[in-house]
Structures are given as structure tokens and as C-alpha cells.
Structure 1
Amino acid sequence: MTADTIAYLGSPGTYSYQAAVGMFPDAEHVGLRTFGEIMETVEAGERKTAVIPIENSTSGRIPDVHRLMLSTEMAIVQERMQRIEHCLIQAHSGPQPVSELGSITRILSHRQGFLQSSGFIEAHCRDAEQIETVDTASAVKQVAELGDPHVAAIGSSVAAQVFGGVVIERDIADQKNNYTRFLALEKPSLDPDYSDATITTLIFQIDHQPGALIEALAVFRDAGINITTLETYTISEETALPTFYIDIGGGLEDDAVQSALRALEEKARYVKLLGSYVASDVRNANSGFLPVKSVKL
């Protein structure tokens, strides 16, 4: 293992790969098949950093990753808003696309590719069979190798370049400003530096009784802190009481954040710090992700 080995989902050409390279351009990037495998290799010390998607501006949270946040002991150290430009891609057949949209009978992609491009599919390829793959780049690779004029993939133009496909339609996502928020996680540092942090992520659990959530969230209002994300977990053996994922505007060294967290610990049954890090400068109305500072319209 090199000192900077980054684990991401899939293969070169995926949006996860693009995010990993964007975050750590000089590192070695290693693609793995599942989110669980990514987290396990970093927790075991086989890789330095895990780069995983947490939510998308069109389709919402990534359920598999959302659940992993409950049990991980790693710390979030960075976030990146990755622009997602889904393309409809087919195999090469000379300089022109190999078929018209109406003749496509099968489309391959990751489930997020289908979810985020559902409007385009309904309008142009509604009768095509949808076949899920482990990632969008794998879909493009399979279609390029298959060479069938009636089969297409939904993926990135980067994947088309990597695997020899041809883009026949660009930017087919339902939301044109389509972004996925990626997180970089590492084993916790013995001496973390939060001096530049502008956003903090937590998981907390409260009693199941009227007003408990309002009282817990009021600590951030009282401290003048914005909440940029609030997600609830479904009830399970691991989360028998109401459990929430939350992003707040402010770094862990901010006095207001320290005050709010002390107050939250008095209101909550359980509080877990996931990380405090620099917020992306792409947090705005175009990306679909709230900025950490207040906005007046």
C-alpha cells in the first residue's frame, strides 16, 4: 500500500472515480465492487481513504451508504460536489451513432443512472429493458464490447472515452444541474485539525416522545447555527429509538458549535461525531445543496 491509496466504487470512468481523482489527484486510485468493501479496506488499514457518494441532488440519499454511517468508526475529512452529466452511450459503428433512440431494446446502467434519467427514458426509450450494473462505467464497458446496435448504456462521457463508446445523447438527467455529494473518510487522526472546518456531521438519537426532536434541534437555533441536512433512519435493532443524520454549518472549533453540542448531549440519548471539515464552495442553488451560511431571498 502506498501512503495515499484511495478506494472508490467501480472502475475508471465512474463518477466515483472522477470524484476520487478530483479530491486526490496525485494519489493511487483503486476501484472496488461494493461500498462495504471500500469501508472495510480503509478500516483495516489496507487503503488510506474511502471516497463514497452520500446523496444526489435529484434522487436524494444513497441508502447503502446512509446505513454504513451508523456503524463506521472513520472520520469524514472532505466533501466534493461532483457534477453528474449522464449520457446515452452506444458502441462505435463508424462516425455515426449505431441506432435511433426508438430502436433501443435494452439499457444498462447503475440504479442511480436510471433514477436520475427516468424522464428521458420515459420520453424516448420507455419500452427498453433496464438492466442494472454495479456502476455506470461497467455498463458502458459492456455495451462497447457487445457492439449491439439495439443496446445502450447510461454513463459518463469519460467512461465512453475510456472504453471506446460513442455518446449519442448528452446531459439526459432529469435535473440539468445534477450533482452528487461525495465524502472522503479516513481512520481518525490522533491529533485532528479542525481549524479550517466549516461544516460538521453528526448522528444523534433521542427518546421517542412528543417534542423530543424539536428540543434537540432547538440547540442549533439557539446557537445561531444552520442545519444543511437532516435525515431520519428507519427503526431497526440498531436504531430502536429515533435516530438522525445531521450536517450543521460550523466547524468543531467554533464556540457556537461547541456550545450547541454540549446542549445536544443533554437532550439526546446518543451523539456520534462523524467529522468536521471544509464545506464545498459548490454549495448553492445550482448544485441543490444548501450553503452553510444563511441566505436571504
Structure 2
Amino acid sequence: MPDTPLSLDEIRTRISQLDHELLTLLAERRRLSVDVAKNKIAIQKPIRDQAREQALLEKLVSDGSAHQLDAHYVLSIFHTIIEDSVLIQQRYLQALANPDNQRPVARVSFLGSQGSYSYLAARQYFSRKQTELVEMACDSFKQVVETVETGHADYGLLPVENTSSGSINEVYDQLQHTRLSIVGELTLPIAHCLLTVGHQDPSHIDTLYAHPQPHQQCSEYVDTLGKIKKVYCSSTADAMQQVADLNQPNVAAIGHAASGELYGLTAIKTDIANQQQNYTRFIVVARKPVKVSKLTPAKTTFIMSTSQQAGSLVECLMVLRERGINMTKLESRPVLGNPWEEMFYVDVEANMASDVMQSALDELTTLTRYLKVLGCYPSETISPTEVSLPDSND
């Protein structure tokens, strides 16, 4: 007699049971990640072992195929799990290196109020550290910096670049003069939406409120709306607040769908950015630098001014290349008050405490007119380990 098929409710019950089992196993794996970190400290082994990660992923892909699981599906799951494990180990080492920074509550300044992208980034960054926030909304990047400099905030969050609109020059200009140190970073996926009061037809919109950066990042979609009035706001939160206050069917704001709900707004068009892969990189600044364990993947950011002689910048960059130091960012900004003189901002994948980075900084000091380290901090961008997938034709 054939088995009686399960009802939909029975299937859903079984799926819920499996989901609960998966969560239990993931929690256990997280606890083991801390044990891994403790062992790596004892033997002074770096947090990331990409050869080990590659071997593990290849075996998981092979084991998954025996269960008819697609290789890309397996990799997408375990890339996320490995990233989480690396960040957990990293936080454990950072807590040991910086015991005075382990606070249950942190005062954090950022651009805009509730619902701004800086607000979302602040919540995500500090939730990873299990730190409660005292949110301090600011009207400008200058105010974010000053709030930390004066001691009214413990940390400030600043966006520095976007994959669609590029570098945020105003922030780089603030970094040129501040005494603060960069102590962390975060890359946040940006999901721009068209937000209105109620379900409006986009063709009826004649006024659009947004911060200049989202305006720029969504310029192609904005052009499809025709000749509309563009109102630039101090933050995304300010744009959403103004649209909510106006309560009119012909006005809209650019913002995140979840943030729009805070202001009673509805997303009538999603994914309106020029690029589908739209990310903003934020930095976290504080009055004191952090110590970064040599076992932790780290970045160092510094600024330098070279002489006006031909090849001066190239000579400085060769210092990094000769030592195998990977540069991830090079940005130039004019030096205020000194016409035609530029300050260069450099991000490298290196720990300032390492011998190779110290050697590079020593040589750069002799080659430049001015050099200042803005910070050395744990890298929160965990690049997935590449794995060669089996040929589907085999």
C-alpha cells in the first residue's frame, strides 16, 4: 500500500523542525569559532587560513553533490558562515587587545536621524559587537567629527565611498584636519527605493527629495521621471521626513524601504540605483586608536603629501609594491590654501604593527613632505575564498 502523502501543514511542520535544528547547529558552530580563536592565539596562527578554507569548501561542494545540492548553493551558504566565523574570531582578539573599549553602551554620531543610511550602518556595525547604541543624529559630516572630537560621542560613522557615485569628497576633506583615528569599517549594501505617502503612480511625481548622493546614484531612474523638481536634503532621513510632513501624492523621496516605513512611507519602486551591486563603505572614527592583533586581517589608512617633482608619487607607491603591500584605495584631494598641491589618501591591506608596514612608513617619511597615519583597524570586508568548481559537462 503506497505511503500516504503528507499534508501541507505536516510538511510545513517538518520544515520548521529542520529550521530549528539548523539554528541550533549554527549556534554551536559559532561557539566553536571562539574556541578556534583561543587555539590560534596559543600557537600564534593568523585568523584566516585560505588554503584551509579552500580545501574545506571543495570538500563541502563534493559532499553536497552527493545530496544533489548545487555547488553555487553550497558555496553561497558556507561563504556566509565562514565570513561570520572570521568576524567572530576577529572580535574576540580585538576584545583582548582593547579591554578598555569593551563597553555595553556606546554614544555614536552619524549623519541624519532614524532611517538614514548612516543610521542603518551604525546599527549594523555595533550590533555585531553586541553594543547598545546611544544615537546622536547630526546635520553634517563636520558635526559628526566635531561631536566625537569634543567628547560628546564615543564614535562617529562616516561614509567614504560608494560603488556607484564614487568617493565622498566632503568626508575626505574632514579627515585631512581631524585628530580622530579610524578604528573600524563597514560595507553596507544600499537598496534605494522611491518612497511616497500611500501607493502612488510614479508618473504623477513632480518633486523628488533626496540627499545629493542618492540623487547621483539613482540618476538614470530619476531621468525616466521626466522634468521633475529635485530638492536636495541634508540626509536621507531628512528627505523622508519632509515627504511625510507634506503628505502629498505628487512628492517622493529616495531611501531604504524599511526606513521609509518609520516615516509612514511606501516603496512604490524598488532597486532604482544605477548599479545593481550598490554598496557604501563607512569608516568608524574615535578619539583614540585601537590596537590590532597581528593575527587579525587589518587595514592601515594614511595621508601623504609628495613633492611637486615628476615621479614623486610613483616613487612612493613603489615602496608599497616592493614590500608586497596591497593598496586598495588611492584618493587625491586639494590642500586648502595651497593652490595645485594635493594630499593623497591611501588604504593598504596591512597591519601597522607589522615589520613590513613599519619599514614602508619609515621609507615613505623620507620621501614625502608630510605623512600621517589616520588609523589601523580590523578589516570587516571578508573576501570569499575562490574555489574552482567542477565542469558541469563532466
TM-score calculated relative to the size of structure 2:
0.67
Greater alpha carbon shift after TM alignment, 221-230 vs 25-34: 25-34
In the alignment, which residue of structure 2 is the partner of 1:23?
125
In the alignment, which residue of structure 2 is the partner of 1:145?
245
| Equivalent residues of 1:91, 1:145 under 8 A apart | no
1:201 aligns with 2:301: yes
1:256 and 1:41, CA in 2 relative to 1: closer, same or farther beyond 3 A?
A: same
1:114 and 1:39, CA in 2 relative to 1: closer, same or farther beyond 3 A?
A: same
Structure (1 or 2) with the greater strand fraction: 1
Structure (1 or 2) with the greater helix fraction: 2
In the alignment, which residue of structure 1 is the partner of 2:377?
277
Find the aligned partners of 1:53 and 1:277 in 2 and give their Cα distance: 16
Larger radius of gyration: 2
In the alignment, which residue of structure 2 is the partner of 1:13?
115
Per chain length, whose mean CA-contact separation is higher, i.e. which structure has more relative contact order (CA < 8 Å, sep 6+)?
A: 1
1:53 aligns with 2:159: yes
- The aligned amino acid for 2:106 is D
List runs of 5+ in structure 2 lacking aligned partners.
1-103, 386-394
1:69 aligns with 2:167: no
Moved over 3 A (4+): 238-242
1:136 aligns with 2:236: yes
Find the aligned partners of 2:142 and 2:312 in 1 and give their Cα distance: 32
Q: Deviation per CA, 1:144-164: give whole Å up to 9, x if none.
A: 222211111111112211110
In the alignment, which residue of structure 2 is the partner of 1:249?
349
| Equivalent residues of 1:91, 1:146 under 8 A apart | no
In the alignment, which residue of structure 2 is the partner of 1:105?
206
Shift of 1:238: 5.5
- Residue from 285, 296, 318 that aligns with 1:218: 318
- Residue from 172, 196, 199 that aligns with 1:90: 196
Find the aligned partners of 2:163 and 2:207 in 1 and give their Cα distance: 26
Structure 1 vs Structure 2: percent identity of aligned residues?
A: 33
Shift of 1:194: 2.1
Shift of 1:283: 5.5
In the alignment, which residue of structure 1 is the partner of 2:282?
182
- The aligned amino acid for 2:222 is I
SS at match of 1:12: coil
Find the aligned partners of 2:314 and 2:381 in 1 and give their Cα distance: 30
Tell me how many residue pairs correspond in the alignment.
277
1:23 and 1:59, CA in 2 relative to 1: closer, same or farther beyond 3 A?
A: same
| Equivalent residues of 2:334, 2:341 under 8 A apart | no
List runs of 5+ in structure 1 lacking aligned partners.
285-292
Shift of 1:282: 5.2
- Residue from 140, 163, 175 that aligns with 2:263: 163
- The aligned amino acid for 2:204 is S
